[in-house]
Amino acid sequence: MKLPAGTTWTFRPPEDQPVAWLAVAKGLLVGATPADAGEMVIFHPSQQAITLEASADGDAIFVIGSAAPHPHELHLGNYSVHTSAESLALGEANIERLRQLLVAAGDRRNASGTTPVFRG
């Protein structure tokens, strides 16, 4: 969403989605929910409306989302989130395997800027 400089907007999460977050791509949010470009805000679970205000100095561009709470215990890794310790270990091992393939391949960018894709 693009929020023009100095304006406010209110997000009202759907009744069944008390989990909300936002990520700012450009600009600055001020007021009750301050956040700068590159930052992510995770809200406490709630049905309360979230009012956002763009800085008077420029537009703010951000993504905001909401969801229903996840019914499973989450296992957090460095690069991923899984629903069991076993799947987390497998997922992170696969990420490491792919990292090693990319390092071994070296810099393979071409004039178009593309990079190699490894499928597992």
Q: With 90 as the cut, is the pLDDT of residue 1 above it? A: yes
Is the separation of the CB atoms in 64 and 22 below 8 Å?
yes
Q: What are the tens digits of pLDDT across the range 77-119?
A: 887 888 899 999 999 999 999 889 888 888 777 777 666 666 6
Q: How far is 47 from 13, CA to CA, in rounded Å? A: 6
The DSSP result for 57-86, as a single string, is TS-EEEEEEEEPPPSS--EE-SS-EESSHH
Whole-prediction pTM? 0.64
The two tokens of residue 61 are 């561009």
Residue spans of the domains in the chain: they are 2-67, 75-105
